[in-house]
Structure 1
Amino acid sequence: MKTLHYCLIVVGLGLNLKAGAQTGISGKIKAEYVPFSNYIRPVDSVKTGSSSNFKRMQLGFSIPLSVKIDSSGRPKMWAVNVEGAYAQMENRDYEVKLFPTEMLNAQLGLVHMRPISKTWSIMAMASVGVYTDMEKITSDDILVQGGVLFIKHFNPRTAFGFGPVVSNTFGVPMILPGLYFNWVTAGRYRLHVNFPENIEFGVQMNPSFELKAVVELSGMTAEVTKDNKSMLLGYQQVVAGLRPEIKLGKSITLQLTAGTTLTRSFTTTSRKLKDFFKAKDMADPRFVTTAYGAVALKWNLSKAKK
């Protein structure tokens, strides 16, 4: 599960941004629901009678501050990213409190992207955010992240990036390897791999309707106090399903997703760097696979540079 937690740090930083910059305001609002599913006790992997659900609202948008197009048609830009997610959980029939009833993640970030050669670009990012279980908000709930990616554009549809990512998730600033991969095929049948966020395979039924099969990683983080120590509680989910995508106009798209949770779990980690590399004595708390549903509205007030 540490691999999932690392990927979520990368996703939260915004490294899942498309290598082709947006030249206008773009955003997304999304509502998700996971019905009650049984808690699997980590000590012996027994399915218990306890259960939890998960409801989340997400809102994010990007506002370009400055955009200049060079002679080759590639953008040099500065943009502000604003993201927020609020989740509620109902927890039934637990002997002791194991999971929060609320979580809030909100962050503000600055992104700069520019070409540095005919086939290479550089993307620099920095963000600060609040990650809390809503019980008590302190300075420990504030996380700062940043990174620089060097992106190789193999062609207009394929890009690979790498570079250092710095985060104070584990108390002291820690340098992690940042990886980015974006690949989109052309034609009526389209495969889109956007590491580490999702994989999509879609069929364009007509100009206004596309049906996709998706696998998607997401999660949330909250700083919690346990035994008078600052800890990080991480929620991870991987979902798979079908996603009809309907264009409501040139700039607005409606997405409906129905499927299942492949994995849904919580991790609690010390904020000491040395503890991140320690092997755990038992598995993380997790839940039985169950249904998943989401509805999202996306808008993009400019044409993406592919």
Structure 2
Amino acid sequence: MYIYVDFADTNIVITEPYFNFSSIQESMNEILFEEYQFQSALRINAGSLSSHRYFHENNSELCCIVVDSGFSSTHIVPYCRGRKMKEGICRITVGGKLLTNHLKEIISYRQLHVMDETYVINQVKEDVCYVSQDFCKDMEIAQLKGEDNTVMREYVLPDFSSIKKGFCKPREEMNFTGKYKTGDQILRLTNERFAVPEMLFHPSDIGIQEMGIPEALVNSINNMPEEMQPHFYKNIVLTGGNTLFPGYRDRVYKEVRALAPVEYEVSVVLPQNPICYPWEGGKLLAENPDFEEMVVTREDYEENGHYVCEEKFDV
């Protein structure tokens, strides 16, 4: 089914990165208003939409801090009364793409050349990886032999003929001898399962000299005025695809709790759908009675150019 959209009668809400280059912003304005000729547009950060969604549900709260961990990177952004606190924004150059690429390198070195199979290995990562609550203990288990190794999983790769999508074997069907039939394409995964997501918490493990997510969260909150800090600690919101790793929320809470002052309450919220959470915020924003005050109309743009966008869009 095709749905025809008349851009001239359509408003658009479009997300962009934090501290985006002005040249890219100007190009985006030109595409939206000159090429597609939308009736009006709002350029905004994904974190701002997430905070709008959170404050809508928790209208008694004054502050929140959004952890947006996606494909390319992770951003930590504090908000107060819906306003972005730029002095507290922190960026970590670890995202889902880096994790998938690292898993490809590990598997290619240990088992099977998969450097050209980004889509398949990304699926492997999503199906079997998890965030460890005790890294050293899990490493000890991963070194055990046979059925004592409760970390080990066998992943059946797709052949795109009889097997369209890869899957993780049930534990009772696993082959602990390590001998497989000719033609079977099976990955045996042990410490990769938790060592790959660990990069979100310790980027220095692979030579990236940056803070992990919990440390960056605390650093960001410490950059805020002291009287606001308790409000941020009890309103930590996790968004983005990386938050779907089992154990992610618990690990963030555990490490932030250890780093935060003992007198502060710490609460970490993982929404039901952390990937679509900003979209939900955008939907609420579009239904807001003040929405027309936030956007730039095509007439405004044609009259004032890029200047009016710079003035209205706080990105």
If the TM-score is normalised by the length of the shorter chain, which range does it land in? under 0.3
Query: What TM-score, normalized by structure 2, do the two folds share?
Result: 0.23
State the TM-score, normalizing by the size of structure 1. Answer: 0.23
Higher helix share: 2
Structure of greater relative contact order (alpha carbons < 8 Å, 6+ residues apart):
2
- When Rg is computed on C-alpha atoms for both structures, the one with the higher figure is 2
Q: Quick check: which one's strand share is greater?
A: 1
